[in-house]
Amino acid sequence: MCDTHEQTGATGAGGYPSFEECVTFHGHVCPGLATGYRAAVAAMQALGVARPYDEELVAIAETDACGLDAIQMVTGCTAGKGNLVVKDHGKHVFTFISRENEKAVRVLVRHRDTPEYSEMNELRKKIVTGRADAADHERFHELMHAAAERILTAPSDEVIEIRDVDAEPPAKARIFASVVCACCGEQVADAKTRLLDGRQVCIPCYEAVRSPGRPEAG
């Protein structure tokens, strides 16, 4: 699998988007993005699929962290198309299902202790609490880049564990008609409305009326 750093060039190995393209999309280099990239490429290779045009591939992510952006870029699975499902269990685990060849794989990101992480964690605390100076910020980004580089160049079995699984893909995305909420007057997908006194209203308006202690929607 992806055992070399060739995947991070202008054109990713196997014709997939490069890691640099994922960085541009995500906004910065970090270990989470790198592990998501490795997981996505490995899954595509294991399934023997190319980046899909539409919903041919489905990704089920058990985290909403940084790696998810690499998953979207590499696999073409996005929330807008309905073939990216996020079940935030706080686990760096991703299941990929190919509708075309009826195969599925589950990819687990292995925990790796690297020389950078201890220092990164201490600097992160300073940054979050506003105690970090410019040198701290610069050092933190240096460590992030170094950790990401280690992940991108390490042998696959040190970064991820991948196995075949039985998994049913979710139903394909549906396109719903829009209606006007009887309370706020905003358009809402008809399947996402609730009935309130016989009128179709959006979920926020419905909850505002039904939740104790909250003012009624106008």
Q: How far apart are CA 90 and CA 109, in angstroms?
A: 12
Residue 84 confidence (pLDDT): 94
Q: Where are the chain's structural domains? A: 5-164, 178-210
Beta partners for residue 94, in sequence order = 61, 107
pTM for this model (two decimals): 0.78
**Residue 215: exposure state from Cβ atoms within 10 A (0-12, 13-18, ≥19):** exposed
Residue 162 confidence (pLDDT): 96
Mean pLDDT by 10 residues, the chain (218 residues): 37 74 96 95 92 87 95 93 92 94 94 78 92 94 93 94 88 82 93 92 92 51
Q: What residues have CB less than 8 Å from 113, skipping those under 6 apart?
A: none
- From the candidate CATH numbers 3.30.60, 1.10.3470, 1.10.8, 3.80.10, the one assigned to the domain spanning 178-210: 3.30.60
CATH number given to 5-164: 3.30.1330.130
Residue 175 confidence (pLDDT): 77
Residue 216 confidence (pLDDT): 45
Residue 14 confidence (pLDDT): 59
